[in-house]
Amino acid sequence: MSDLSARDQGRDHARDNAMSMAAMSSERIEPDDNVWTRRLVLFLRIMAVVSIMKGLYHWAQVTGFIGGEEEAFENQSMAWQTATVYFAVIELVGAVGLWLATPWGAVVWLTTVVSTAVIELMFPGIYGGSLTVVALEAVMLGAYLALAWMAARERPP
C-alpha cells in the first residue's frame, strides 16, 4: 500500500510539473491580440503629458509666472485673454481624459486640436497664425486616427 501511495505522489508531482511547464510555455506562445490597442493607449498617455504641459503653460501665462511686464496677461487683448483661459482649462481636462483613455478624453482633445487650428488659421492676430503649430496638430490627429483604426480592426464586432 505504501508503494502505491509513493507512486501516486510521484505521478502527482510529475503532473504538477508538466502543468506548470505547459502554463509557462503557453503564455509565451500565445499571440498578443491587443498590440494596436496598447499602442493607442501609449499614444494617448503621451498626448496627455503634452496636453498637461500646454495647459500649464497657458496657466503660467494667466498667472504671470512667465513673460515680462509687457507680456502680462492684463496687457493683452481680450481675444488673447479669452483664448488663453480657454486653452488653460480645456487642455488639462482633455489630459485627464486622455490619460484614462476614455472616449470623452479623445473628444475633448479633438476639440482642442480643432480649436488650435481655427485660432491659428482664422484669427492670426491672437497667437500669430503659425502654420507649424497647425501642421503638428494635424500630424498628431492623423496618428491618433490611424492608431484608433488599427485598434478597432483587432477587435471585430
491587443: which residue's cell?
34
Residue-averaged pLDDT of the chain: 85
CB atoms within 10 A of CB 94: 27
Query: CB within 8 A of 44, min separation 6: which ones?
Result: 98, 99, 101, 105, 106, 144
* Tens digits of residue pLDDT in 109-136: 999 999 999 999 999 999 888 999 999 9
Q: What is the pLDDT of residues 9-54, one digit of tens each?
A: 655 655 555 445 444 444 544 456 789 999 999 999 999 999 999 9
Residue 69's SS3 state is coil
Above 80 in pLDDT, residue 6?
A: no
Dist. CA 44–CA 144, nearest whole Å: 8
